[in-house]
Amino acid sequence: MKPVKVYDTTLRDGCQAEHVALSVEDKLRVARRLDDLGVAYIEGGWPNETNPRDQEFFQRARDEKWTTAALAAFGSTRRGGIAPEDDSNLQQLLASQAPVITIFGKSWDLHVTEVLRVSCDENLRMIEDSVAFLKSQGREVIFDAEHFFDGYQADCEYALETLWAATRGGADWLVPCDTNGGTMPLQLQDIMQVVADEFDLPLGIHAHDDAGMAAANTVIAVQCGVEMIQGTVNGYGERVGNANLCTIIPDVELKLGRRCLPEGNLAKLTALSHYVSEIANLPHNDRLPYVGASAFAHKGGMHVDAVLKTPDSFEHIPPETVGNERRILVSDYAGRSTVLHKLQKLWPQLKRDDPIVKQLLAEVKQREYDGYAYEAAEASLELLAQRLQRTLPELFKLHGFRVIVEKHEENGQPYAEATIKLEVNGATLHTAAEGTGPVHALDQALRKALTEKYPALAKLQLTDFKVRVLDTTRGTATTVRVLIETTDGEKTWGTVGAHENIIEASWQALVDSLIYGLQRQIAKGQDSSDSPPGSNHIPPTSAETDS
């Protein structure tokens, strides 16, 4: 069977999503990663006079060496009543020097008469003339039949005529689009079968996800004979988004047995998904199929026991196939298998009947009842286990802290100062620091007191700070949970604190984050001269790989 070509429109349709705004440099970086993944087409944008950013993208992209992908410029058919060679949009598409041009034309008579305000016959001429003109300039032309499925249900004969117009013009591809995203899979299947039977040209599919059916519609279209799938990384797109290539590509490759990417490149998919989220400055969706952090996360005790014995029992594919990994979550739903799996990363020889397994399980269940959560705080879980085993060295001992928050004027900024007293290797350290808030001030005071003894603290950076109110009915007296994410530039880990006092909850999570980070540095042989006695017996840590 022929491979299915992947047409990525993240840099155009994806950029129409709310909260997504990519610079030219951002778009080039994403394009390079897409090319490395092995997609067939990268739609770079709509390079018209109102979009200088996309014009610059294509100008700079000419100097790039593209290994697998062809760049596509996107635009519309000519305007009504003028020749294609006189249409500025078509001229700017050619000026982009993109080897592929994707133009859309209206396939729904409602849009022809009410939006374009031209006759249905003129719309057909616009499609045919535009495609023919672009083909005469030596370009590969992809025709996106906009609103095709709505148009087909309104007037099937006219919708098909728009495809015939593009065919007469010499289009290389016909791509029916579910632009409003409301077509149901079996409806789409019936319509695509008609199209596949009537046209000899290669077909594509472009689906939006307004009814939550974009992936299903795309997969069904492939089963109907479509050879091109259009979509975006992570499903970014206008309104609720486009078909998600990170779902569709593995669906087509692993479930339908059709090649989409070069051999071995499917394992790059999870990294690409996270990379594009970072470039777009958006949190990664943990619940994305295949590439989300929760896609292979197991929490229930019976599930964990089963998947550790036989992964196929609760995983439809091996996670590494798409570059993801299995995660075993510890919570009040956990059983002994879950806890043992975690503890064996610290102590590989540990057996199921070791008392620490039962002890840690009971402690976790009680702490989760009290407000802690260890699913995203694997570092705190490891430290808790070490404390229960009395193997955690005392890097420092707290004698106390005080936090003052002041505001001197109604419209002024609040002022925070933290004073802290610690003991390190028998020496008492007493210092103070200012911050933008009480937690920031505590962090600064703690670092100020410890950095001389532990210079590696400078490498540890807090990257995220979340506060959750656990019982809103108790108002300001409720327990709050604080989750902190920290990195040393190589690994990232999560820690947790819970208390009725938000400062105490923050202190717990903060201290765990720094202790865990210092353990990593000590284990690597850094700061060893300042380490307390026994620190060379710190067991290896692994929470950062599971956070």
Which residue reads 């009504």 in tokens?
A: 80
The whole-number pLDDT of residue 335 equals 59
The whole-number pLDDT of residue 359 equals 82
Assess whether the region 366-389+458-547 and the region 396-453 belong to the same CATH fold: yes
| 3 state DSSP class of 499 | strand
Question: 374: buried, middle or exposed (CB in 10 Å: 19+, 13-18, 0-12)?
Answer: buried
pLDDT band with cut points at 50, 70 and 90 for residue 523: confident
DSSP 86: G
Task: Taking residues 358-383, report their average pLDDT.
Answer: 82
pLDDT tens per residue across span 22-63: 999 899 989 999 999 999 999 999 998 888 999 999 999 999
Q: Where are the domains of the chain?
A: 5-262, 366-389+458-547, 396-453
Task: Taking residues 108-116, report their average pLDDT.
Answer: 92
The whole-number pLDDT of residue 474 equals 60
CA-to-CA distance for 395 and 399, rounded, in angstroms? 13
The whole-number pLDDT of residue 544 equals 37
Task: Taking residues 506-534, report their average pLDDT.
Answer: 73
Indicate the fold that domain 5-262 takes in CATH.
TIM Barrel (3.20.20)
Nearest to 266 by CA among 286, 246, 282, 280: 246
Distances (CA, A) of 154 to 71, 157, 160, 221, 361: 34, 9, 12, 20, 61
DSSP-assigned letters across all residues of 102-148:
EEEEE-SHHHIIIII-S-HHHHHHHHHHHHHHHHHTT-EEEEEEETH
CA-to-CA distance for 267 and 254, rounded, in angstroms? 12
Give just the sign of the alpha carbon dihedral 85, 89, 92, 97: negative
For domain 396-453, the CATH class is: alpha beta
Task: Taking residues 172-196, report their average pLDDT.
Answer: 97
pLDDT band with cut points at 50, 70 and 90 for residue 531: very low
pLDDT band with cut points at 50, 70 and 90 for residue 330: low
The whole-number pLDDT of residue 310 equals 84
The whole-number pLDDT of residue 476 equals 59
pLDDT band with cut points at 50, 70 and 90 for residue 353: confident
Between 528 and 462, name the one with better pLDDT: 462
pLDDT band with cut points at 50, 70 and 90 for residue 441: very high
Q: Is the pLDDT of residue 140 over 50?
A: yes
The whole-number pLDDT of residue 337 equals 64
Between 155 and 468, name the one with better pLDDT: 155
SS3 content of the chain, % helix, strand, coil (to 5): 45, 20, 35
Give just the sign of the alpha carbon dihedral 95, 98, 99, 100: negative
Spell out the residues 6+ positions from residue 263 whose beta carbon is closer than 8 angstroms to its own. Answer: none
* Window from 129-138, 339-348, 419-428 with minimum mean pLDDT: 339-348
Q: Label each residue of 64-82 as H, E or C.
A: CCCCCCEEEEEEECCCCCC
Span 366-389+458-547 CATH architecture = 2-Layer Sandwich (3.30)
The whole-number pLDDT of residue 512 equals 93
Task: Taking residues 283-311, report their average pLDDT.
Answer: 83
CA-to-CA distance for 329 and 201, rounded, in angstroms? 49
pLDDT tens per residue across span 203-216: 999 999 999 999 99
The whole-number pLDDT of residue 409 equals 82
**This prediction's pTM:** 0.69
pLDDT band with cut points at 50, 70 and 90 for residue 396: confident
